[in-house]
Amino acid sequence: MCAVALLRVLPRTILSFARQEPSQTSDCILLAQENRNYNPGKKIERNVSMTNSNFIKTTGVITAFVAIIAAGMVNSSRHVRAHDDDDDEGEEAKIDRGFQIAPVPLDLLGKNRKLVGLGSYIVNAQSGCNGCHSTGPANEYAANGNPYFGQEQVVNVNTYLGGGRDFGPFPGPGPFPHIISRNLTPDKTGRPEGGNTFATFKAIIRTGIDTDNVHPTCTGAPDGKCIPPPFHGDLLQIMPWPVYQNMTDHDLRAIYEYLSAIPCLEGGPGEPANRCN
Ligand code: HEC
């Protein structure tokens, strides 16, 4: 029995080793038990019960051997399939998906294609940038393309990441400035969000610093332009930089590359007229 168990286990042990699973070799009962759980039940039980004929027994062992090898192969291919379904598919899948879901035509000239695709994936599948950086819910989607109406989603290319969504007076009703999302599209320099370099963009996302200094901290009574302490006027409000700051440099670089590839839109707070050309 123990020898049979060992024979039955051997191929699996080899397979297990290849998959770096722990294998048991010490206890025959455990081995037999493990095998019953592991495997192809019926054939093996039949082998065990036909102890009155050596010929059948031998044949049975060989059959079991083959069955175990086959089962091991099935098991390991299942393992591979599970790997495909559940584990990290790698960056290529994200890049492909990024290109599939980009709602605007992309200018890839002089850009790193892979970064653009990954950036699109991060912006359009993970970060919801356009939810805040369009002009607002009323115009985020094209006519008849609002998923919240049960329609098939069509993003409005005329507001895509162009900024201008008004979040109202901050931090609440009163003589406080409105927080308005910024235009992230590239301007005539070809660089995103108002011509910022990657270094500046990275600093903004990592620290939340508002390089445009749109709403300083109040030093006296609120005047409709400053925001009151403890809010820090040098920092972007509402914008989820405390989340995005955890991204890798590579991901931030990808977002930046993608934002360089989308079409320019006019408008947005603080932007000059004719920013596109
Ligand atoms: C919850 C809403 C929201 C989301 C989501 C959001 N933003 Fe913002 N973002 C804002 C607001 C509002 C501002 C302006 C904040 C202020 O004026 O204090 C802003 C400002 C910015 C700025 C500063 C622009 C400048 O000119 O200095 C950048 C860059 C930026 N966002 C990039 C992004 C990117 C990239 C994403 C997606 C990865 C994103 N934002 C997602 C709300 C949002």
pLDDT-based confidence at residue 10 (cuts at 50, 70, 90) = very low
- What pLDDT digit, counting tens, does each position of 99-158 carry? 999 999 999 999 999 999 999 999 999 999 999 999 999 999 999 999 999 999 999 999
Domain boundaries, the chain: 2-78, 102-261
pLDDT tens sequence across 195-208? 999 999 999 999 99
Does residue 131 line the site of ligand 1, with CB under 6 A? yes
Over residues 80-98, the mean pLDDT reads: 75
**Sequence-ordered alpha helix ranges (H) in 145-237:** 192-195, 198-207
Helical packing angle, 54-86 and 41-49, nearest 10°: 160
pLDDT category of residue 58 using cuts at 50, 70 and 90: low
HSE-CB of 6 using CA atoms within 13 angstroms: 7
Of residues 129 and 31, more confidence is placed in 129
Closest CA to ligand 1's atom 9: 239
Q: Is 160 in the pocket of ligand 1 (CB under 6 A)?
A: no
Residue located nearest, by CA, to atom 24 of ligand 1: 182
User: Is residue 128 in contact with ligand 1, taking CB distance under 6 Å?
Assistant: yes
Q: For ligand 1, atom 43, name the residue with the nearest CA.
A: 239
Most confident of 32-41, 43-52, 67-76, 213-222: 213-222
Whether 23 lines ligand 1, by a CB cut-off of 6 Å, is no
Band the pLDDT of 89: cuts 50, 70, 90.
confident
Cα 254 from Cα 115, distance rounded (Å): 4
Tell me, what's the pLDDT at 223? 96
Q: Which of 8-17, 79-88, 120-129, 226-235 has the lowest mean pLDDT?
A: 8-17
- Measured from the CB, is residue 129 less than 6 Å from ligand 1? yes
**Which residues on neighbouring strands pair with residue 178, listed in sequence order?**
169
209 pocket-lining for ligand 1 (C-beta < 6 Å): no
